[in-house]
Structure 1
Amino acid sequence: MNLEQMEYIKEIVHTKSISIAAQNLHVSQSAISQSISLLEKELGIQLFKRSRFGTTPTEEGKSIIHNALKIVESIEKIKEDAQNITSTFTGEIKIAAIPSLMNFLPKILSLFKKDFPQIKITVIEMESKRILKNIKEYSLDLGFTSIKKSLEISLPDHLLFSKLEYNADFQVIVPKDSPLAFKQSLTIEDLYDYPIVLYTSQFWEDFIYSLENNNRPINVLFHTSNSEVIKRTIAEGLAISVLSSYLLTDDPYVETGRIIPLSLADNNFVPDLSFGCISSEKNPQYALIKKFLEYIHKSGNLI
């Protein structure tokens, strides 16, 4: 009996599949099967059974599997405690955020870097669909993103999504000389009559699709992944746009009056979205990620 076998048991219980467990642990399926068979022979008990419902614990194996999971949990806690005690947090955290959530980061980074100046932090602006993909592949450690509520409930157990205290408030920005600038607020109907510049993302693609479902074409001037390009284009009088109000806080274009933000009266086109941060507990850097998540709590931004 060894710790490797305990890890195999944990992953099989989690995935209900020896083949998927092998993929997740980057070992061959035969290696896991042989290791579990040796353990069963040693204990004289069959631990798992295969059926159309997957690989599941046998009745006689449940108590042993329960104890094995407790062992793995204890080992992980020992490792985490050792890292906390010796203050050996090192390395780099790679963070990605959609533009509207970028404003959450400065306060969190300030708190974290004060205690862990040795940790390198890389922050990237990224579209939500790419964030989820990169979190799954461990090329990102933490993502500040939006997720459809229908997708949120079906996320794998190892993907942890913590909701942010975020109000999805969107404003239309227009040039200072636009006739729209003299209105108190705008409606979705007002957007049909002007060229529009949009941020490149699945969310805004869905937004345009929903508008065009009304059988009226939208005059999209261009898409860009740079919010500064959007604001400069509006300031030049070429188009209008829709941005999160968070992106317009203390903005020089707004403060100098070059662009005018207006509220959207029917601002209810994002009911299916949750905003938060996502990470994977299978990430090799998860102890460090958990430590960073503590600072998100300290900043008061998590629900």
Structure 2
Amino acid sequence: MNIEQLEHVAEVARAGALTKAAEHLHVSASAVSQSISKLEQELGVQIFTRNRQGTVLTADGKNIMKKVDNVLAAIGELKEEANRCTDTLGGELKIGIIPGPINLLIDMVSAYKSDYPNVKVEIHEMGPVKIIEGVENNELDIGLILTSETFGVQHHELVAEELMEGRMVAGVHEHSPLAAFDQLSPQQLIGETFVLYNDDYIKQFAHDTLSPYGPIDILFTTNNTEAIKRAVQSGVAVTLGMDYSFRTRAPYTNQPIIPVEIEGAGSEPLHLAWIRRKDKVPSRRVKEFVKRVRREL
């Protein structure tokens, strides 16, 4: 029995299929299959049932999986303790983040790198579904996404810890007549042309908030945040997003987009939260980064 075999068992249990697990582990499906078969032979227990629908844990396999999770978590803690003993921090920190809040992290990442120059930080800006998949598949260490009361039910393998509360606002050009208002009604917004980030929550919010007052004029939806900024800053459209997405700090301020509250927006509280796998002990790299984010936000 070795650590690699335990990692293979854990990944197949999560993925539900040998081929999918092999892709996440960057090895061949046959190598994963042989690894698990040898472990089953050594233990004298069948861990998985293999069929056309996928690879499913047996009753014995479910009990073994609990022990496997505990062992892998203990190994993670051991590695972190070794890092503390040598007082060095290195390796990679891979973060997935929804578009918008990344402008809040620039100074934090810079300070983090000053303290821990041996850590290679990768920030991947993507939609929430991709971030969740990345964390679940161990391709990302942590993710920063919007969460709500329903998150825990839908993604029971993940833990979400709130960092800050936010609300949906309209983003308008600084010289737009709408920028003079402290709050905009859906009736005022329905006559505007919109550019929206291609995100299910934003699109659903636009539909629920505005469609009762008439058809929504959407110029385009895109995952390119720069295209959205240019459209708003040129005055041809209005956008929707979380309030902190429009915060800017000197010296980065350049033709800012003005956030304006929307009357009656958001019945369910939304939070920017960091997510991680429930069965994975956060590394010291993650803990130090999140500690800094909490302090700054």
TM-score, scaled to structure 2: 0.71
Q: Per-residue displacement from partner, 1:9-28 (whole Å, max 9, x unpaired)?
A: 9849x76x897997687654
How far residue 47 of structure 1 moved from its aligned partner, in angstroms, is 9.1
Counterpart in the other structure of 2:234: 236
Q: Does 1:155 align with 2:155?
A: yes
Structure 2 gaps of 5+ residues are 50-55
**AA paired with 1:119?**
V
Q: Per-residue displacement from partner, 1:143-199 (whole Å, max 9, x unpaired)?
A: 211245424333253x34322123235244245243x34434211222111112222
Alignment map for 1:244-263 (pairs within 5 Å): 244-250=242-248, 260-263=258-261
- Alpha-carbon spacing, 1:72–1:112, altered in 2? closer, same or farther (3 Å): same
Q: In 2, Cα distance between the equivalents of 1:65 and 1:174?
A: 54
- Alpha-carbon spacing, 1:18–1:55, altered in 2? closer, same or farther (3 Å): farther
Match of 2:275 among 278, 293, 296: 278
**AA paired with 1:205?**
K
Counterpart in the other structure of 1:114: 114
Structure 1 gaps of 5+ residues are 41-45
- 8 Å CA contact retained: 2:183, 2:260: yes
Alignment map for 1:78-117 (pairs within 5 Å): 78-87=78-87, 89-117=89-117
**AA paired with 2:289?**
Y
Larger radius of gyration: 1
Counterpart in the other structure of 1:291: 285
Counterpart in the other structure of 1:198: 196
- 8 Å CA contact retained: 1:98, 1:145: yes
- 8 Å CA contact retained: 1:162, 1:277: yes
RMSD after superposition: 4.4
- 8 Å CA contact retained: 2:183, 2:263: yes
Q: In 2, Cα distance between the equivalents of 1:199 and 1:90?
A: 35
Q: Percent identity?
A: 22
- 8 Å CA contact retained: 1:11, 1:21: no
Aligned length, in residue pairs: 284
Q: Per-residue displacement from partner, 1:104-148 (whole Å, max 9, x unpaired)?
A: 423532442232112222223222122222333444333211245
- 8 Å CA contact retained: 1:195, 1:219: yes
- Alpha-carbon spacing, 1:28–1:120, altered in 2? closer, same or farther (3 Å): closer
Q: Does 1:38 align with 2:42?
A: yes
Q: In 2, Cα distance between the equivalents of 1:256 and 1:33?
A: 59
- 8 Å CA contact retained: 1:173, 1:261: yes
- 8 Å CA contact retained: 1:6, 1:68: no
TM-score, scaled to structure 1: 0.70
- 8 Å CA contact retained: 1:174, 1:241: no
